Each structure stands twice: as C-alpha cells, then as structure tokens.
Amino acid sequence: MLVAAAVCPCPPLLVPGVAAGAAPELDSARAACTDALGLLAAARPDRLVVVGPGEESEHGGYAAGTRGTFRGFGVDIDVTLGRPEADEPELSQRRLPTSLAVAAWLLERTAWADAPIEGRVVGEPLTPERCIEIGRDVAVRAERVALLVMGDASACRTLKAPGYLDERAAPFDASVAHALGKVDLAALKRLDTELAHELKVSGRAPWQVLAGAGEEAGLSGALLYEDAPYGVGYLVATWS
C-alpha cells in the first residue's frame, strides 16, 4: 500500500552543474525537493518506486543500479538509481531517461539507502485509464510503498517559455497544484490529456499513476513549492 509520495519537477536544470550560472534560480525548488524526499525516508517504506515521463513511445521499468548521465547537457555528471538488489540480474546497457536521472541525482543528494528502489517511465500516449492501472499495480509492490513522482507542469507560462505564452497554462497549473496539495484523486484522474499535450505538460501521466496508487491510501497532502521559472511550471508536493 502507498504510505507516502513526493512530487518533484524533472528539468535537468535542477542539477547545478547543468544550470551553471543560473543554478541559484532553482535553489528554492531544490530545497523543497530535499524536504519532500525527507518525508519519503521518514515513512520507512519497504520499496521506493520512481515514476517519470519518457519519450512518447517509452514505458517500462528500470532496475535499481541502472545508470544515467547528464553528459548530453555538456557536463561530466553520472548518476545511479540506487544500489542493485542482491538478486538482480546483470543490468542492461540502456540508460535512465532524463526524468529518472534527475530523480537519481536528488536521491543521491539525500543519501537515500533505506529501501530497495525501482524506476518506471510512462510515455505521454498512455491513457489515463492505463496510468491509473499502473498506479494500482505499483501500490501493491510491497507492504509499504513510497512513490517519487517526477514531472513538469505547463511549458507555456511566458513569452520566452519553450512553448510560448498560452493563457490556459496558468489556470491548468493552478488546478494541478490544488489537486496535488489536497490529494484530489478525482481531479488528477480527469486531467485533460489533449490540453496537457498542447501545453507541453510532462507530468500528466506520472500524476495519474500517482492517483491510481493513492486510491486506497487515505493520505493527506501539502504543496511545498509552486513557481514557473523559465516559463515552465514546477511543483513540489508531498502525500503522507
């Protein structure tokens, strides 16, 4: 059963080495992520499942010990998603997608080593129904499951945003922030997939996985961070 969850954004700019001179602009977001991961550790889960967006057609699992890198962003920084479990078969050569690499970097900063870890990536084309089904399956992976859910809100908050300015972006982000802060599962499940796509939202599918995982949990929520630096909506929330 789900006992705790943390929702974090997944831009590579969270990694100071990638952000370089712009790193201080996301200091408050990093601090909020650290606080959220502290809550996960305090819940003492038997298993941590990290869920994040991937390429459009990508979905599937990543074992503990899978490596990721930020070399594609011009920095010599490598990460590993936890430690391989003793009975884990030899890892493949595939690398973590960026969202899970950011999660691995956050976990390394907090020296996470309390529970086995596994990663799962969900592609944008997955329907809400399929995402919710995945969440239900994740919630029964162990007696006490924690979720680290990676994903960004809209990328259309300002004229200089990656998706340019869209007046629908701020209301959409506000509705997601409210749903995450209040653990409004129904609101998360009915997120408009077409609108999310138009607003370049990467977190829609991961948030709906979270909604499925939280159905039987009875958790309460808190919104720790809500802002749109660079015109992209970043949210940090906790469920416990």
CATH of the domain at 80: 3.40.830.10
> Which residues does 208 contact at the CB level (< 8 Å), separation at least 6?
128, 131, 132, 135, 188, 189, 191
Mean pLDDT in runs of 10 for the chain (240 residues)? 98 94 90 96 95 81 94 94 69 82 94 82 94 97 97 97 97 98 98 98 98 97 97 98
Q: Which strands make up the sheet holding 2-8, listed edge to edge?
A: 60-62, 117-122, 47-53, 145-150, 2-8, 234-239, 221-227
β pairing state of 60-62 and 145-150: unpaired
Give the per-residue pLDDT at 232.
Answer: 97
Count CB neighbours of 56 within 10 A.
11
Greatest Cα pair distance, the chain, in angstroms, is 51
User: pTM here?
Assistant: 0.95
Domain count of the fold of the chain: 1
Give the per-residue pLDDT at 234.
Answer: 98
Give the per-residue pLDDT at 89.
Answer: 54
Give the per-residue pLDDT at 231.
Answer: 96
Give the per-residue pLDDT at 134.
Answer: 97
Give the per-residue pLDDT at 71.
Answer: 95
Count CB neighbours of 128 within 10 A.
20
Give the per-residue pLDDT at 22.
Answer: 79
- Domain of residue 42 covers 2-239
Give the per-residue pLDDT at 21.
Answer: 82
Give the per-residue pLDDT at 23.
Answer: 80
Decide if 150 contacts 51 (C-beta within 8 A): yes
Give the per-residue pLDDT at 59.
Answer: 74
